[in-house]
Structure 1
Amino acid sequence: MSRYFRNHLFILLTVLTALTGGLVSCSQYSTKPISKGYHNLTAHYNAYVIARDEIAQAEQELFKKRQENYNQLLPILLPVDSMLTQPVKPQLDDAIKKASLIPERHQNSKWLDNAYILIGRARLLKQDLPNAIEVFKYVNTKGTNEDDKHTALVGLMRAYVEASDYTNALNVAEYLRNQPLSKINTRDFYLTKAYLHERQGEYATAAGILDATFPVLKKGEATARLHLIAGQLYDLIGQPAKAVDHYRQVLKSRPSYDQSFYANLYAIQSNGLSGDQKRVAQSTETFEQLLNDRKNTDLKDKIYFTMGLLEARNGRIEKAIKLYSQSIQAAGSNTQQVPYTYLEIGKLYFDKKADYAHAKVYYDSALALLPKQSADYATLLNRKKTLDEFVLYKTTIRTDDSLLHLAQMEPAALDKLLDNTLNQREKEDKAQAALAQQIIDKATNGNINSVPGATNSNLQPGERWALYNPVTLSQGRQEFSTRWGNRPLEDNWRRANKEASEAIAGINSPVGGTSPANSVNPNAALSPTGVSAGPATDLTSPAAGRKAKKDAMMAKIPFAKEAQLAANQRIENALYKLGKLYKFQLNQPADAIPTFEELLTRYPNTLQKPEVYYLLYLSNEQVGKTSSWKDKLLAEYPNTSYARLTGKAAVQTTDSEAQALKTYTAIYELYKTNPTEALARAETAIGSFAGTQLEDKLALLRVMLVGRVQTVEAYRQALTEFIRDYPGSQLLPRVKEMQTAAEQATTKRK
């Protein structure tokens, strides 16, 4: 209805109201035909139509202005976002106002249910979910028209989904599934249910429901979008042939340019997954056409990214990394694609090359730019933490090894090495300063792009000047905060913390500890010559500055015996943790074995020896090698929990069960009269109980004996070992109660 006609109709109705006087206007509860006809007419054109059109216009505007992230699975229905609806909020508020006129003034109108549904839709778009849910529930309870009630239930289901209340959403869906829905309600029900399953990660179900929906949809951008999503869903569940069919349907549904572009790229990827070599072979020509198309100037990063994906799937890792790097170069100022490209490079280094140091760099870069609401964010964050630990332990081992080596050098050779290191650093600083000055000069003249390394356009991320690389800037801030904390802008800011001096030869300070190597003995000399700093000098002179840097480097070298012991302790701890990281988090037993062996070779008296024996035994079994580590463990540490764990798979006969019961009874009797002897027998017998029904009972009896005979700390350790070794035991709740009581008793004593 045109605005001109609507305004004139409103004037006509106003005149009609004036002519009929207050009689009709006050009869909104009347059931007479004239009264109902008047209120139906007034409610429809004075309120319902206006509110309906305003909501429809708002939805169209939100659809047109949506921002799609084609690097991820697109949502079937546009998620409700109160921030994105701000531009249309006045329209929605006015729609609610207009629709509210019907329940206020036209109670006997047939448009009453429809008005409430419009109010619910508007509140849903505004993310006012509690009120939207209440409105939809009201229509379902008080409504008089079955179709309107079904429409309200579809809206209620959508509101529950947006509120992540999937249980109630499924309950509504189950009810609607058995109802005779109209064509429009059927369409909306299918789309909402598909959206519900997509949100729950049930991609196969969502794809199947979408397939059932397409016959009732008209061609257009919205339908093309749904075909694109259906293709993504089939890709995710490993059915690339069906995915390709939907990507082709995108091109037949009057799509936008972006939709057709991504449909072509996704189809190429799916052909690669399906093994359609003919179409994969044709992809090179397709890529060339896409790269040469002027309309794709700002989409080249996506094209190179897809080319990299195909190379990676075909096992050509180096070529894939090269193409991913081209994608990053082509991104320019649009960094939406960049974090996903960094993520793929990180995966290749992690999964295919087992190069964890490089993988960490790319994961860090991806995490710096990846949106927190991304589906990959949580997984990436967990993997980053693992790689942070990896680099931490590697850096600690490398740094402290280097410093210990420096401590053994002749004074003259060490002095020469430090001078060479300082000369190299000064040379690098001068080069950076010259580049910075060149950039400033060119920027002043408006020609910054002519400075090599100044911009992001033609260099790899690691080769760009830091201040023009957003990823490097973000990482730099994090590293600075971790190392130095929050520092005020002042001269000599590093001198406020003597413990954080520069490491030798470009190596960072040990991550495993923040104190300098000589902090164990504050009176120990900081140089091998024992020469003091001498009288006060001019700290602003170049010579004094160089001497201060040299002294700071010298202070990190562990000349004192106590400092060397501390460095070796850090290396021992790092080797132990690095081996466990390889074994468990990285699932690389082949790398864990030499790490644990190095630990035992360098530190044969390590306190972790029983556990390391056990982990070496498991790691060798995992890679299919025979080893003597189990025998060494049983021979040297037969009474440890790790020795007992090696016998978990022992097959027990009826006779062994009877013998175990007899032994347990004897130890229990000794528990009452001679706990020391009982503990000794329990330690000896527990290995033979492996696999019996009494194994955990004897282990608990041993814990109780430790509590009676040994120290509180030994008792707490025994409780911890029981919880670790017997996670499925029925005695576990009792042991946890004992552990809590022991901790409370320790706290009270303190």
Structure 2
Amino acid sequence: MSRYLGKSLFLLLTVLASLTGGLLSCSQYSTKPVSKGYHNLTAHYNAYVIARDQINQAEQILFQARQENYNQLLPILLPVDSMLIQSVKPQLDDAIKKASLIPERHQNSQWLDDAYILIGRARLIKQDLPNAIEVFKYVNTKGTNDDDKHTALVGLMRAYIEATDYTNALNVAEYLRNQPLNKVNTRDFYLTKAYLHERQGEYATAAGILDATFPALKKGESTARLHLIAGQLYDLIGQPAKAVDHYRQVLKSRPSYDQSFYANLYAIQSSGLTGDKKRMAQSEEMFDKLLNDRKNVDLKDKVYFTMGLLEARSGRIDKAIKFYSQSIQAAGANTNQVPYTYLEIGKLYFEKKADYDHAKVYYDSALALLPKQSPDYAALVTRKKTLDEFVQYKTTIRTDDSLLTLSKMDPPALDKLLDKAIAQRERDDKAQVALAQQIVDRATGGTSNSVPGATNSNLQPAERWALYNPIALSQGKQEFLVRWGNRLLEDNWRRSNKEASVAIAAVNSPVSGASPANSVNPNSPLQQLDVSGAPAPSNAPVDSRKTQRDAMMAKIPFTKEAQAGANQRIENALYKLGKLYKFDLNQPADAIPTFEQLLTRYPNTLQKPEIYYLLYLSNEQVGKSSSWKDKLIAEYPNTSYARLTGQTVTHTSNSEVQANKTYTDIYELYKANNTTEALTRADNALSSLAGTQLEDKLALLRVMLVGKVKGVDAYRQALTEFVRDYPASQLLPHVKEMQAAADQTTAKRK
């Protein structure tokens, strides 16, 4: 018995010793085959595979949930989106946790580099770019496998792109270009590099790299998407034939329905640029087919938009606008296409028709709906600002001209006109109240006092109040413009004879001289509605006819001071409008009559030298000969504008020496308080010093002499003329300080 127990105990100790030895030999730092085999197996199936599948699934979810904007160039790789990743964030966090087990517990595993790459991928998707960059750098530095290092470098390149660090991304790309990459890394490197060049606006390079990538891609939705992007890129660089080839490849790559739909539309657009008449003839049949397909009910606006685009490219502007209008009407609740359609109509009015009033309306509508991240947004804001200024200046001229006309009317005729305006306003107010009540009754069944259309959910969308539907509101504005043109919100707006109604609009307009010079308020404001839908009374009770007439009369400039103010506003508006035509709108032919009108109405304008110069430039630009250059040199030879013509006074080699002597003599007279003689000599010497280095210095000395001899008002005028004549002078900051001091002195005197 004791012998049996002894053998059992010995066997147990042997087993325990074997197990202990095996466990010790499986340390994650051991290099023994048994240990490495154990950790390779455990790391692969208990961590790596799980983390890899979770990340792949997250990427697939994000790909399927993507929102493509087919009105813009699609990104080759889906950009990192902090909003979309919220749905897969727990999945990514768990993948990072699983992959982190390998460096924590399996240091001797062959999956160590792969684990770090997974962690970097997950952090890249989560938009944790700094940590993703560090992980990829670590693999490249500490990794033991070249393929893994290359994979990490491709990930590093992508992270740099998302961080907009294009310099470092290009450095990584240049290094990888010379490395022996395997097939997978070659494919990913090409796609990432194409994405980099696309982000930088180098579309030709991006398209070429994509072409080299397609042989390594399998057919499927993602490949169809890349063919679609390649077509867009070739369109952007002016190679429509290659673009059409890629759009056809989309249809052969098992695309989604949207991809095939847009590939057909883009192919038609590109065919319009190739001049292929056969394909263009086929496009009409294709349009009919697309419009009649029940699957395209929600896509009809895209079809009409493409039809408009083709007409615009063919120069048929009015027909293009008609199709664009149909696109807007067909949009329904899906407004994604609408801002781009408004933008195209605005471009046609701006660039083809030079109809800036209409262009402004469509740009306003486009800007209201266009996403701020759109590449067109910043340019559209700039152009809208220009058109706002255009409308402001035109309105100021029209309004103040009308008010000046009213001020010259006989009192009986003026009273009759104002009475007519008041009577018309009362009729319009009653009609507006009745219309508002009809809308309320229809929306509420005559029983509700709520805002029409806001709370009655039983109404169909088409029956709800139009003012609560931005698309319907925009369509209404557009239809009005097409039928009536751009008209002020005024009485009798339908009349073909606008003289009386323009005059009435002037006394009703909020920009009749009371608004600031930089305000943009071309139309009178809409009346506010109360909760019942009726116009809210501005004063209760309603003003009497006498009060209304008095308010209108107060806007008419009867006094000389008021008329001078109106004329000053018109002069400034003409000056700014002319420069807007010349520089911002690039319409010198329109700038010329505007400047000429300014000189005719206000021959003593302070801007005369500049206007002469701009008229000279504008006539040269349109290829007309003119005398404005000669007039400028004859009347204002000492101005900077005369010097800009290249026809200023010439000097000998001793000119600067003589100029120094002349200036010194006049300055000595100034110091001796002999100001009258110094001013006379300065006036005579300015023409002889024109073009010398002392010209602006002598001009400033003359300004100071004017102040001493002729007083403060003449001094301020001389300062203004200096700023006008020497815009590039280094003395300008000092002169502006002198202007500010002179203005303060004048204000104190008053």
TM-score tier by shorter-chain length is 0.7 to 0.9
Give 1:464's match in structure 2, choosing from 476, 480, 483. 476
Question: What residue is the counterpart of 1:420 in the other structure?
Answer: 420
Question: What residue is the counterpart of 1:564 in the other structure?
Answer: 563
Structure 2 residue identity aligned to 1:607: L
Q: Would the alpha carbon gap of residues 662 and 333 (structure 1) be closer, same or farther in structure 2, given more than 3 Å must change?
A: same
Q: Would the alpha carbon gap of residues 678 and 40 (structure 1) be closer, same or farther in structure 2, given more than 3 Å must change?
A: farther
Question: What residue is the counterpart of 1:371 in the other structure?
Answer: 371
Question: What residue is the counterpart of 2:341 in the other structure?
Answer: 341
CA distance in 1, matches of 2:631, 2:183: 75
Question: What residue is the counterpart of 1:576 in the other structure?
Answer: 575
Question: What residue is the counterpart of 1:636 in the other structure?
Answer: 635
Secondary structure of the 1:639 match is coil
CA distance in 1, matches of 2:184, 2:664: 79
Secondary structure of the 2:652 match is helix
Question: What residue is the counterpart of 2:192 in the other structure?
Answer: 192
Question: What residue is the counterpart of 2:292 in the other structure?
Answer: 292
The answer to whether the Cα contact below 8 Å between 1:539 and 1:545 also exists between their aligned partners in 2 is: no
CA distance in 2, matches of 1:741, 1:647: 28
CA distance in 2, matches of 1:459, 1:37: 67
CA distance in 2, matches of 1:723, 1:665: 25
The answer to whether the Cα contact below 8 Å between 1:504 and 1:556 also exists between their aligned partners in 2 is: no
Structure 2 residue identity aligned to 1:663: S
Question: What residue is the counterpart of 1:530 in the other structure?
Answer: none
Secondary structure of the 1:414 match is helix
The answer to whether the Cα contact below 8 Å between 1:234 and 1:243 also exists between their aligned partners in 2 is: yes
Give 1:684's match in structure 2, choosing from 678, 687, 703. 687
CA distance in 2, matches of 1:511, 1:25: 95
Structure 2 residue identity aligned to 1:110: Q
The answer to whether the Cα contact below 8 Å between 1:418 and 1:505 also exists between their aligned partners in 2 is: no
Question: What residue is the counterpart of 2:587 in the other structure?
Answer: 588
Q: CA deviation at 1:23?
A: 3.3
The answer to whether the Cα contact below 8 Å between 1:329 and 1:457 also exists between their aligned partners in 2 is: no
CA distance in 1, matches of 2:215, 2:258: 24
Question: What residue is the counterpart of 2:511 in the other structure?
Answer: 510
Q: CA deviation at 1:49?
A: 0.9
CA distance in 1, matches of 2:72, 2:544: 52
Q: State whether structure 2 residue 666 is matched by structure 1 residue 666.
A: no
The answer to whether the Cα contact below 8 Å between 2:599 and 2:605 also exists between their aligned partners in 1 is: yes
Question: What residue is the counterpart of 2:49 in the other structure?
Answer: 49
Q: CA deviation at 1:546?
A: 5.0
CA distance in 1, matches of 2:169, 2:161: 6
Question: What residue is the counterpart of 1:490 in the other structure?
Answer: none
The answer to whether the Cα contact below 8 Å between 1:503 and 1:509 also exists between their aligned partners in 2 is: no
Cα RMSD over matched residues?
Answer: 3.3
CA distance in 1, matches of 2:294, 2:76: 31
Q: Would the alpha carbon gap of residues 307 and 107 (structure 1) be closer, same or farther in structure 2, given more than 3 Å must change?
A: same
Question: What residue is the counterpart of 2:97 in the other structure?
Answer: 97
The answer to whether the Cα contact below 8 Å between 1:43 and 1:102 also exists between their aligned partners in 2 is: yes
| 1:490-548, Cα deviation, whole Å (9 max, x unpaired) | xxxxxxxxxxxx983686322875279xxxxxxxxxxxxxxxxxxxxx96344x35554
CA distance in 2, matches of 1:663, 1:248: 74
The answer to whether the Cα contact below 8 Å between 2:443 and 2:464 also exists between their aligned partners in 1 is: no
TM-score (normalizing by structure 1): 0.81
Higher mean displacement: 605-614 or 632-641: 632-641
CA distance in 2, matches of 1:110, 1:207: 38
TM-score (normalizing by structure 2): 0.81
1:305-344 matches, within 5 Å, as 305-344=305-344
Secondary structure of the 2:108 match is coil
Question: What residue is the counterpart of 2:236 in the other structure?
Answer: 236
CA distance in 1, matches of 2:216, 2:237: 25
Q: CA deviation at 1:661?
A: 2.1
Higher mean displacement: 57-66 or 130-139: 130-139
Q: CA deviation at 1:457?
A: 9.9
Q: Unaligned regions of 5+ residues in structure 1, if any?
A: 1-17, 470-478, 480-501, 517-537, 690-694, 726-734
Secondary structure of the 1:74 match is coil
CA distance in 2, matches of 1:202, 1:333: 36
Q: CA deviation at 1:462?
A: 5.1
CA distance in 2, matches of 1:88, 1:410: 78
Higher mean displacement: 207-216 or 505-514: 505-514
Q: CA deviation at 1:395?
A: 0.5
Q: Would the alpha carbon gap of residues 308 and 507 (structure 1) be closer, same or farther in structure 2, given more than 3 Å must change?
A: farther
Larger Rg: 2
The answer to whether the Cα contact below 8 Å between 2:719 and 2:739 also exists between their aligned partners in 1 is: no
Q: Would the alpha carbon gap of residues 313 and 427 (structure 1) be closer, same or farther in structure 2, given more than 3 Å must change?
A: farther
1:521-532 matches, within 5 Å, as none
CA distance in 2, matches of 1:415, 1:448: 49
Structure 1 residue identity aligned to 2:553: M
CA distance in 2, matches of 1:68, 1:598: 51
CA distance in 2, matches of 1:707, 1:545: 56
Q: Unaligned regions of 5+ residues in structure 2, if any?
A: 1-17, 446-457, 481-488, 490-502, 518-537, 668-677, 708-714, 745-750
Secondary structure of the 2:84 match is coil
Structure 2 residue identity aligned to 1:504: A
Structure 2 residue identity aligned to 1:165: D
Question: What residue is the counterpart of 1:263 in the other structure?
Answer: 263
